[in-house]
Structure 1
């Protein structure tokens, strides 16, 4: 995913275009993806002393994920190699992404102000007219046409007033979408909620282990090999010609209410599609070659060769903008990435809790 500094640094998109200060860095579609269930025997047998489900402080139902070993990674993506064996300890995981309603309860209890709502500091955006530095965030804006899929700035716009209360801008609202996943959150916003709820953000190893739900074979998607079952889409992803024609065959143009699609074998919803989910790990494309074999927590520093100066965190699961034409990293074992201070309207999170 691009960084907000890149978006603002290119002079707040269309505004700066008029002033002639835009400089677009070409990227491959695959490297900008973050813009963009099976019959498994019960894993709880033999562990009757552990509660299978609990409710967190935020009232979210959490599922017991019993620890074990699994093969982590994917042969389809360079930064998800080598495939390697990892062992994780048991933990609880939210059964669905944190919703607007739940995040609103957190804000009411704490008075928390998200990154997208805070004033922007001119020193962070050299060369940009300070008058343009107003709180806001990036919003997916379908263009009428595109010149290839290499430049994601064709469909992402910095919108003043866009934040978790107004995901698509000041004229939008979360009213009537209380059960949709909350979006427009930077990494620190998600981490603050998790701390308030007595939880934490998952490591990417925990996230992938839970998403695979006991499957140890290589499959295209976490649930199997097909996108539909009995004619029904199994995840909220993009149908049609990206990014200009969303046919909404799955019933949704943007986010869907949590639990709108079937859960995986361990009772977890939306582990593919709907919104990307922040993980605790810093991102490096070469980390798997030296990852710890037990409870890995990611590298000590962040590095993305496409944006060397940006601090990025891992994102997992894909979003409503993912499809095989552009954003394939909703597929099993793949990794997303996002600059930690750059919220968008297709990124959210879920929490985990230690036992």
Structure 2
């Protein structure tokens, strides 16, 4: 945990095998120790950092949603500046973005980091019984819920599955989908089969979707 606005959990180093159902491909990735937010970014925190109007009382602890990948990147830099940290992301002249691996600020998790953190040492499709750990179509009443309302995984991370999908830093498959970015975790409207540690989804970085949010990470 840190002393700022975000509760961070230290995730130990490890190894995870990513897989893609579309291509039937799998590949191992080593993950270094890093920190990941215990909760998705809430509406309250997002609007406080970005200067937006405060959310209504019933939505302050909801995960922020309908935010694009670019919105999430801008938030990471804004939160870094607010906490006197060095921003991770730098905007390139051609409209792209570069990542400063030496910066101590906030960033989006890499896809491998996300899955390693989600699994928390488990090897099955989920880190617990789905109804105990996630808001999904069968129990969500087809709406978003406050963060932290379900059980965390063994490393103290909440809502890794269900509630809202998390944007990740990675491109999904650049050769086929160009700049589309990875989404992980499943959301409140998804069937049970989408709420698994290994499931990958993609979206264009400009799109904002009502069941997609994000959580922040920091390198160590």
| TM-score over 0.5 (shorter chain) | yes
Q: Say yes or no: does 1:202 pair with 2:109.
A: yes
Name 2:16's counterpart in structure 1.
70
Of 164, 169, 184 in structure 2, the residue corresponding to residue 316 of structure 1 is: 184
What CA deviation, in whole Å up to 9, does each residue of 1:297-319 have, x standing for no partner? xxxx3633xxxxx6310010010
Deviation at 1:234, TM superposition (A): 2.7
Name 2:176's counterpart in structure 1.
303
Deviation at 1:196, TM superposition (A): 1.6
Runs of 4+ in 1 over 3 A off after TM superposition: none
Name 2:168's counterpart in structure 1.
279
Structure 1 residues 302 and 259: CA distance shift in structure 2, 3 A: farther
The answer as to whether partners of 2:133 and 2:152 remain within 8 angstroms in 1 is: no
Partner-residue secondary structure (3-state), 1:342:
coil
Partner-residue secondary structure (3-state), 1:104:
helix
Q: Say yes or no: does 1:188 pair with 2:70.
A: yes
Deviation at 1:339, TM superposition (A): 1.1
Partner-residue secondary structure (3-state), 1:83:
strand
Supply the distance in 2 between the matched residues of 1:174 and 1:82 (Cα, whole angstroms).
44
Structure 1 residues 193 and 270: CA distance shift in structure 2, 3 A: same
Supply the distance in 1 between the matched residues of 2:7 and 2:26 (Cα, whole angstroms).
32
Supply the distance in 2 between the matched residues of 1:176 and 1:276 (Cα, whole angstroms).
21
The answer as to whether partners of 1:303 and 1:311 remain within 8 angstroms in 2 is: no
Give the unaligned 5+ runs of structure 2.
81-105
Name 2:7's counterpart in structure 1.
61
Supply the distance in 2 between the matched residues of 1:345 and 1:88 (Cα, whole angstroms).
30
The answer as to whether partners of 2:10 and 2:36 remain within 8 angstroms in 1 is: yes
Name 1:227's counterpart in structure 2.
130
Partner-residue secondary structure (3-state), 2:187:
coil
Supply the distance in 2 between the matched residues of 1:99 and 1:279 (Cα, whole angstroms).
17
Supply the distance in 1 between the matched residues of 2:40 and 2:208 (Cα, whole angstroms).
16
Name 2:91's counterpart in structure 1.
none
Q: Which has the larger radius of gyration?
A: 1
Partner-residue secondary structure (3-state), 1:105:
helix
Deviation at 1:322, TM superposition (A): 0.7
Of 213, 218, 229 in structure 1, the residue corresponding to residue 120 of structure 2 is: 213
After superposition, the CA RMSD in angstroms is: 2.1
Partner-residue secondary structure (3-state), 1:188:
helix
Structure 1 residues 302 and 257: CA distance shift in structure 2, 3 A: farther
Structure 1 residues 174 and 183: CA distance shift in structure 2, 3 A: farther
Q: Say yes or no: does 1:100 pair with 2:46.
A: no
The answer as to whether partners of 1:211 and 1:264 remain within 8 angstroms in 2 is: yes
Structure 1 residues 281 and 254: CA distance shift in structure 2, 3 A: same
Name 1:32's counterpart in structure 2.
none
| TM-score, normalised relative to structure 2 | 0.81
The answer as to whether partners of 2:164 and 2:186 remain within 8 angstroms in 1 is: yes
Of 20, 28, 31 in structure 2, the residue corresponding to residue 88 of structure 1 is: 31
What CA deviation, in whole Å up to 9, does each residue of 1:15-47 have, x standing for no partner? xxxxxxxxxxxxxxxxxxxxxxxxxxxxxxxxx
Task: Pick the structure with more strand per residue.
Answer: 2
Partner-residue secondary structure (3-state), 2:77:
helix
Q: How many residues align?
A: 195
